[in-house]
Structure 1
Amino acid sequence: MAHEPDGQEREQRPAVRLARLLRRWWEEAGSPPGGTRPTQQALASRLGIDQTTLSRYLNPKHASTAPPRVVEALHAHLRAPATELARARELCRAALEGNSRQGTAGDGPELTGGTGTADGTGGRGSPGRLRSRWTLPALVAAVVPAFVAGMVVGGQHAPPPPRSAAEDTAGSVPLSGVPIEWPLLMKRKEDQFTRARALQHLLMAHGYEVKADGFFGNETQDAVMGFQRRHNLPSDGKVGKDTWPALVRTVGPGAHGHAVLALQELLHNTGLGGTEVSGEFTAATVEDLRYFQSRHGLSPTGRADVDSWLALLVFQRPPVDTPAYQRSTGPHGVRLPLPRA
């Protein structure tokens, strides 16, 4: 029988202790003379996450582990005691490591039959928490006979054929076990939010003059068709499983430019909390990317490869408003100088 933690043991879990600490920061934010505690809605807006997610981070009874970037942002926004930041970071690290050891880090629906949500929160409780009803002895008892039967019937256990390069980019995250496909973007009048802006930044990274405004119009379609012709792809102006893998670039620490802007746009809108969209692949970008990779069954390298781009493009949530960093730029979005030929 699986062990259920009693009340005292649960209170000692790093995730619960972290949630208590973060909630105290929030509750005490209005304590100084003249201080005003922000509402959770206003605070969530500043952090770039939704209010429901923030409420989970601040709820010890149903504690969800806030990522490091959110912990640090809360400390700054709430003007929490400087001496408590190191403790919060330590609790955050311990909670994330505990989730990883227990196999609870992920963004799919729960394996026990619980319902997940489209934004990867996994329903009630910790976001994306995976709970398996299989214990190790039961798993071994189920797997070994099946393996032996396969050996008998097949006569030998031949290794699977190697995957081709085309299969590697066709649409699956290798360590997650959940097949996903590249999203399809095409010319539409409505704002397509972050995916369209990421597409436009990637086009600019390849030397095409477009606006990163999130609208897939004639300008973006012409650039897509030009890119497709240059790379011997069907020039239909639609961005799907053939065009995305050719557009994305492997980027990592020290990189800068439009490909990094595209990556940060996507990270910012995954609900992890406030990735800075600067065009510079900073240490904070590495940390956010590693956290995203670990939650989606990818190797947490801190470098954006094809599989990371695929997962980032799939696990997006629609923003409730134009990102704050774009409001001062008008409808044309962020522009950087085009790369030299």
Structure 2
Amino acid sequence: MREQESRAPERAPGARLALLLRRWWEEAGSATGGARPTQQALAARLGIDQTTLSRYLNPKHPLNAPPRVVEALHAQLRAPAAELEPARALCRAALEESGRQRPAGGRTATGHVERPGATPGADDSTGTAPTGAGDAVRAGGNGGWGRSRSRRLLPVLPASAVVLSFVAGIAVHALVAPVRGVPADGVPGAFRVSESPYEWPLLRMKKEDQYTRARALQHLLNAHGYKVRTDGFFGAETRDAVMDFQRKHHLVSDGKAGRDTWPELVKTVGPGSSGYMVLAVQELLDNVGQGGTVVSGQYTAVTADDMRFFQRTHHLPVTGRADPDTWLALLVRQRPPAGAPAYQRSTGMPPSPSA
């Protein structure tokens, strides 16, 4: 595969990028002795379908992989660090080339539709040229058509303005109108103006490994002074810690982590934070399908960048910090592991908690 890359300087950037991505996939696991992930499992981690991933890895029929997917593949496949920047450069070149070669009636590199016969330099979303350029073309070729179309549009404009004003009024009202019946912070007569579309997950004692959500719960308990194993297994030790936490915070002491317990456990963390709370955030970020996040317990600039990407993707305020709404979205968006988690493969037994 490396020989094919070195012998193909004349290949298009998209094909060269596909060769590089395919080599990352084929060599994944060889350095560590682990198993290479299947394309199906890898596509699930990236949040794309398997057919699309196959096109990204096929130099004969490549599909230009976007920067996010290139970076996520690099992290998921643990490719050499020195190859990330060349892959980014190939990605940019492939996107630029696709923009130069966009077909009539197809989509441009930015995703806008270009209509057949549209004036060069036109706004792709409307098919009309910018002021000046379009007028010159029409005046030189078919000025009468341009004037007659303007006359036909004149009676329509006032009616369109009325409709747009009405729709805008409805939209503004929907944004500022309170959600009736939902008190804000328990203050009578006050209401929240928005509600999260998510619900806090319910975790309870089970024999099965509950993976990242349970590990995050155990990190959070440790952040509040408890000493529980961060192994993903919600056993008696974790249940007893949850019950004690609930008693201290005047909650129903049932040993289950649900909609009342999670908000008391999580705290806002961001750049400069460290410890168990950060470990929980990083565990969750590492398992949402956007590429690997280093789980170190230190909220670094890289962690903040990963957080901002997650927030943009899920329509949250892009702050780079983990506030309660972001915690909630992270917990809901967790993915099941494609195989046995690393902490199970390494020792065969759940590890003890680390600082």
Return the alpha-carbon distance in structure 2 between the equivalents of residues 69 and 47 of structure 1: 14
Q: Is the 8 A contact 1:202 1:248 kept in 2?
A: yes
Residue of structure 2 equivalent to 1:164: 184
RMSD value, Cα: 4.7
Per the alignment, residue 301 of structure 1 pairs with 319
The TM-score with structure 1 as length reference comes to 0.62
Q: 2:18 aligns with which of 15, 20, 23?
A: 23
Match among 30, 52, 57 for residue 56 of structure 1: 52
Partner of 2:233: 215
1:1-341 paired onto structure 2 within 5 Å: 22-27=17-22, 41=37, 49=45, 56-57=52-53, 58=56, 60-61=62-63, 66-67=68-69, 69-70=71-72, 72-73=74-75, 77=79, 84-85=86-87, 87=89, 144-145=165-166, 160=178, 164-165=184-185, 179-324=197-342, 327-328=345-346, 330-333=348-351, 335-337=353-355
Kindly tell me: are residues 309 and 329 of structure 1, through their superposed partners in 2, closer, same or farther at Cα, counting changes over 3 Å? farther
- Cα distance between partner residues in 1 of 2:330 and 2:94: 23
Against the structure 1 CA distance between its residues 322 and 249, is the aligned structure 2 distance closer, same or farther, given a 3 Å change threshold? farther
Measured after TM superposition, the shift of residue 321 of structure 1 is 2.6
Counterpart Cα distance in 1 of 2:51 and 2:176: 51
Equivalence for 1:121: none
Q: Could you state the TM-score of these two structures normalised by the residue count of structure 2? A: 0.60
- CA-to-aligned-CA distance 1:226-254 (integer Å, 9 cap, x gap): 00011111101111110000001111112
Residues matched between the structures, number: 267
Structure 2 SS opposite 1:332: coil
Aligned to 1:134: none
Q: Which amino acid aligns with 2:37?
A: Q
**Inter-CA distance 197–81: structure 2 relative to 1 (3 Å threshold):** closer
Which one-letter code corresponds to 1:25 in the other structure?
Answer: L
User: Partner of 1:304: helix, strand, or coil?
Assistant: coil
Unpaired runs of 5+ residues, structure 2, are: 1-11, 97-109, 113-159
- Letter of the 1:267 partner, please give it: L
2:37 and 2:275 map into 1 onto residues whose CA distance is: 33
Separation (CA, whole Å) in 1 of partners of 2:84 and 2:223: 40
Query: Residues of 1 paired with 2:70 and 2:24: CA distance?
Result: 20
Question: Counterpart of 1:77 in structure 2: which amino acid?
Answer: A
**Are the aligned partners of 2:64 and 2:91 in contact in 1 as well (CA < 8 Å)?**
no
Q: Rg: which structure is higher?
A: 2
Q: Distance in 2 between matches of 1:198 and 1:263?
A: 7
Q: Using the alignment, how far apart are the partners of 2:186 and 2:347 within structure 1?
A: 39
Tell me how far 1:84 sits from its aligned partner. Answer: 1.9
The answer to which structure, 1 or 2, has the higher relative contact order (CA under 8 A, 6+ apart) is 1
> What's the CA shift string for 1:23-80, capped at 9, x where partnerless?
131346699xxx99x9973689799936966763526548565357426537961687
**Amino acid of the structure 2 residue aligned with 1:203:** L
For residues 189-213 of structure 1, give each alpha carbon's deviation from its aligned partner in whole angstroms, at most 9, with x where no partner exists.
1111111111011111111111111
Whichever residue aligns with residue 70 of structure 1, its letter is A
**Does the CA contact (< 8 Å) of 2:25 and 2:36 recur in 1?**
no
Describe the SS at the equivalent of 2:203.
coil
> 2:166 is matched by which residue type in structure 1?
P
| In structure 2, C-alpha distance between the alignment counterparts of 1:182 and 1:332, rounded to whole Å | 26
